[in-house]
Amino acid sequence: MKSLRGKLKEQSQLYNTMKKPKVLAQITDHALALSGISGKRYYSDPAALTEIQLLAYEYYSIFPSWIIMDVYNIEAQLIGQSMKYLPNGMPDIDQGNPLIKTQKDLCKIKLPGNFPECGRIPLVLESLRLMEVYTGLIPVPAICAPFSMACGIRGYARLIRDIKTRPKFAHQLLKTITDGVTIPYLKIIIEKNPEVANCCLADAWGSLPNITPQIFDEFIAPYIERIRDSFKNIQINSQAYWGIRYAKDLQSFLEKKLPIEGEVIAYGDDARAIGLEFFKNCALKQNKSIIVGIESLLINEGHQEDLIWKVKEQMKICSSLENVTFLLEDIPATAPSENIHAVTAAIKAYSRAQAPKDYDTIRVGIPERETFPAFVRQKQRENPDGYTFSWIDEANLIK
């Protein structure tokens, strides 16, 4: 059995020399469900988190660009925000008990003196280290953007009310988060991983219709730029801004957030409502790469034929672009493995097309695959990647 590191080396050559589309996925919950271990173990054990996600990526032939955890919670929990824990799911901020109830609570927004050893920061740092050891890839850390962290520790509704009625306080809150938490946290990550060249800020709360373009201009973008100014040698993009379909002026808002995101992102629901052509044309005009989303509902409930047709149409539209990435969005825990295999098989098959007319002549063959438990057991026996499998005794692998 070939190691994951070896497979990735071959894949990277294809991406670089033949411009084949890359396949990424938000696989966190689905990988947890496949493994059958408890959410508490998964979100606290770096070996379990990293190895299980890498096994799921490899099983589905998805490029492991990142190890994803509950990125919106890590910093908030570190400074004292109370959390809710689900037995088989992702931890969540206790929205009924925000850390910042009044302006006097701003003093709580500070990192402990030994914060790299506190909370779940060791989980983050060790998972980044293991990612590089197992894959040979330079890790891409993901952290919470200031606006989304403010929504967590203040509450979304309270923050929007502050922006409307007490904008100075809202700015004070965001500046304190940026300077007191986000920047020093990212500095430690880079100190521990000096080869890091890219970082992603997760900012889903900053999406339409949660906010307005005016809020984006005044309360989101300036703090992203403040972070960028502190890390001149690192490419920092802030992403997860879905909902562009709600903008009154689509072109204006897309061009507004493009410098922040760094690439054109066509999330599935937005592309379905607006049309993927709009995003493709923007990528061509701005000479940017594009991420094309496949929505989680279709992955979970669609037929394989629908998924294959969707991939074909998306690839036909984007055939004139050189740098295309497909993103399987938030794969649900219950998504059938057969559907995910169908998506990756379709992308691989249609990558052979040389011209738009070729797509209708290509037939997609979905290979017969062993079950995920059988795949994991073979990996454990041969273990070409040197995984610990320290979590395997707790696993209740789905047949």
Segment 152-169, tens digit of pLDDT: 999 999 999 999 999 999
Q: What is the pLDDT of residue 398?
A: 55
- How large is the average pLDDT for residues 73-99? 93
Whether residue 24 contacts residue 325, with contact meaning beta carbons closer than 8 Å, is answered with yes
pTM of the model: 0.96
Two tokens, residue 157: 């509704």
Least confident window among 79-93, 128-142, 165-179: 79-93
Would the pLDDT of 188 be above 50?
yes
Q: What is the pLDDT of residue 85?
A: 86
Segment 224-264, tens digit of pLDDT: 999 999 999 999 999 999 999 999 999 999 999 999 999 99
Would the pLDDT of 12 be above 80?
no
Query: Binning pLDDT at 50, 70 and 90, where does residue 15 land?
Result: low
Segment 102-154, tens digit of pLDDT: 999 999 999 999 999 999 999 999 999 999 999 999 999 999 999 999 999 99
- How large is the average pLDDT for residues 286-308? 97
CB-based burial of residue 330 (10 Å sphere; 0-12 exposed, 13-18 middle, 19+ buried)? buried
Domains along the sequence of the chain with CATH: 1-68+258-399 (no CATH), 72-241 (3.20.20.210)
Q: What is the pLDDT of residue 399?
A: 46
Mean pLDDT over each residue of the chain, to the nearest integer: 95
Two tokens, residue 316: 């036909």
- How large is the average pLDDT for residues 32-40? 95
Q: What is the pLDDT of residue 18?
A: 58
Whether residue 111 contacts residue 78, with contact meaning beta carbons closer than 8 Å, is answered with yes
Q: Count how many Cα atoms sit within 13 Å of the Cα of residue 250 in the half-sphere of its side chain.
A: 18
Segment 200-220, tens digit of pLDDT: 999 999 999 999 999 999 999
Whether residue 393 contacts residue 31, with contact meaning beta carbons closer than 8 Å, is answered with no
Would the pLDDT of 88 be above 90?
no
Least confident window among 72-76, 114-118, 393-397: 393-397
Q: What is the pLDDT of residue 148?
A: 98
Neighbours of 104 (CB within 10 A): 8
Segment 339-378, tens digit of pLDDT: 999 999 999 999 999 888 899 999 999 989 999 999 999 9
Whole-number CA gyration radius for the chain: 21
Two tokens, residue 57: 């990526």
